[in-house]
Amino acid sequence: MLFKSAPIRFGSLRVRPPLSAPGMAIGLLGGSFNPPHEGHRLITEIALRRLRLHQLWWVVTPGNPLKSHDGLASLEMRLALSRALVPDNRVTITAFERAMPQPITVATLAVLKRRFPHVRFVWLMGADNLATIHRWHLWRDIFATFPIAVVNRPGFHLKALSAPAAHAFARHRLPEQEAPLLAYKSAPAWVFLTGPLSELSSTQLRDQNNVHTA
C-alpha cells in the first residue's frame, strides 16, 4: 500500500514500456546515463546474477529533475551509447519516460505497477542514491511500490546505511543472502548488495572529457 497517493494518473496510453510476461522478475535501473559507463554495467551484472532476474531495463530518463541539464547529451545519443555498452539480450535499453509529463521515479513506478500487475519488478540504485533518496519526491512511496536492491558504491557504504531512508525502512531490510528472494517479496522490502565496486561516475567521465577537449 502506498503511503500517499502516487500519481498513477500518469499511466497514459502514450507511455509504452518494453514488453514483459506475467511472473517475470525484472530489474529497473533508472538514470540519465550521461554517459553510460562500466559502473552501470557492473551494477547490471551484479543485479542479474545476485537477484536472479529474467530481464533488466535501463530506463534512460529525458533529464533528472534534481540536476542541471547543462551538458546533457541528446536522449538518442545516450540510448545508442547504452546499447553499445551492454549488448546482453537480457538487458533492454528504454526511454519510455519521454512520453510522461513528469518523468520522476515515483510516477514511473506507479505506471509500471498499474500496467504490469503480475510482473515482479525490482528497483535498482547505487548506495549513493540511498544516501540522498529522502530528498526525492514522495520517496516513501518509492519504497512502498516495488522491492529495492541497493548496490554498494565506493565511499558510500556507511553513508547509505546511516541515511534517513535506511533507518525509516530498517525492519524491511533483507539479509544479503536472501537477495534471490527479493523480487518475490511484497514492498516495502530491500537488500544491500556488496561485491566488486566501480569508482566510475558519469560526472567524472564528463569532467575528464571536458579537460581533454579544452
The predicted pLDDT at position 161 comes to 97
d(C-alpha 124, C-alpha 147), whole Å: 9
Query: Which band of pLDDT confidence, cut at 50, 70 and 90, is reported for residue 3?
Result: very low
Better-predicted residue by pLDDT, 57 or 72: 57
Average pLDDT value for residue range 177-201:
87
Question: Does 118 have pLDDT greater than 70?
Answer: yes
d(C-alpha 205, C-alpha 34), whole Å: 9
d(C-alpha 133, C-alpha 129), whole Å: 6
Cis check: omega of the bond before 35, within 30 degrees of 0: yes
Whether the Cβ atoms of residue 150 and residue 125 lie closer than 8 Å to each other: yes
Query: Which band of pLDDT confidence, cut at 50, 70 and 90, is reported for residue 202?
Result: very low
pLDDT of 14-71, one tens digit each?
788 998 999 999 999 999 999 999 989 999 999 999 999 999 999 999 876 556 556 7
In the sheet where 25-31 sits, what is the strand order? 91-94, 55-60, 25-31, 120-126, 148-151, 190-193, 173-174
- % of residues, the chain, pLDDT over 70: 82
Angle at 196 between CA 66 and CA 23, to 5 degrees: 70
Predicted TM-score (pTM) of this structure: 0.84
Whether the Cβ atoms of residue 35 and residue 202 lie closer than 8 Å to each other: yes
